């Protein structure tokens, strides 16, 4: 495998695990705010990020490549509101989309069709990731500061399946 491609795949594993850490921090914020539905939503998201990292990890192992994990920085933990958290989650997913697109384009550029095809799943997944956050933000716009509506939204977000 092309060394640059191998490098950015390794980096992406670490970034997926850092995403897990970020969403875990967001879940902790929601737990502290007594928003158990929002906390569950973020826990489901956190678990997805681990599975994404492991998907790349397993791919690299299956290809006989060496996985090298990087350091994970402390995630942000001071949030202002539910809307602030989901705004930051969407911004984060948009950054991840750029990273995934870069891996896909690099695979295509170096002629690694196997990795290009493998990364197509992640390209499609990022559409869903951004849509999920965008949908919640649209609902939060409707709810505004109405506490009764926020209680109902929190309950609804808690129904997110794993």
pLDDT in tens, 24-73: 999 999 999 999 999 999 999 999 999 999 999 999 999 999 999 999 99
- CATH code at 19? 1.20.1260.10
Judge whether 153 lies within some domain: yes
- The mean pLDDT of 121-131, rounded to a whole number, is 98
d(CA 37, CA 26): 12
Q: Please say if the pLDDT value at position 162 is more than 80.
A: no
Check whether 89 has a pLDDT greater than 80.
Answer: yes
CA gap 148, 51 in Å, rounded: 35
CA–CA separation, 130 and 97 (whole Å): 9
Domain for residue 127, yes or no?
yes
Which pLDDT belongs to residue 60?
A: 98
Tell me which residue range forms the domain holding 67. 3-157
The confidence score (pLDDT) of residue 161 equals 82
Q: Indicate the SS3 state at residue 2.
A: coil
Quote the distance between the C-alpha of residue 77 and its chain's center.
16
Task: Say what the pTM is.
Answer: 0.95
Whether 41 is in a domain gets the answer yes
**Residue carrying the six token digits 């095809």:** 117
Rounded to an integer, what distance in angstroms lies between the CA atom of residue 54 and that of residue 49? 9
Average pLDDT over residues 129-142: 97
104 in any annotated domain: yes
Q: How many domains does the chain have?
A: 1
Q: What is the mean pLDDT of residues 110-123?
A: 98
Q: Which long-range contacts (CB under 8 A, 24 or more apart) does 119-124 make?
A: 121/55, 122/52
Within a domain: residue 162? no
Q: Is residue 81 part of a domain?
A: yes
Instruction: Specify the 3-state DSSP secondary structure of 43.
Output: helix
Residue 25 lies in a domain: yes
């Amino acid at each position: 495998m092309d060394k640059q491609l191998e490098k950015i795949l390794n980096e992406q594993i670490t970034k997926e695990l850092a995403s897990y850490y970020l969403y875990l921090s967001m879940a902790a914020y929601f737990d502290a705010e007594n928003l158990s539905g929002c906390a569950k939503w973020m826990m489901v998201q956190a678990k997805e990020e681990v599975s994404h990292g492991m998907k790349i990890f397993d791919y690299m192992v299956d290809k006989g490549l060496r996985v090298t994990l990087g350091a994970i920085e402390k995630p942000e933990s001071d949030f202002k509101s539910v809307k602030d958290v989901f705004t930051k989650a969407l911004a984060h997913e948009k950054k991840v989309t750029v990273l995934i697109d870069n891996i896909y384009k690099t695979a295509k550029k170096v002629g690694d069709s196997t990795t290009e095809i493998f990364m197509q799943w992640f390209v499609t997944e990022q559409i869903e990731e951004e849509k999920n956050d965008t949908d919640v933000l649209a609902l939060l716009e409707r709810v505004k500061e109405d506490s009764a509506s926020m209680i109902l939204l929190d309950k609804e977000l808690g129904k997110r399946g794993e």
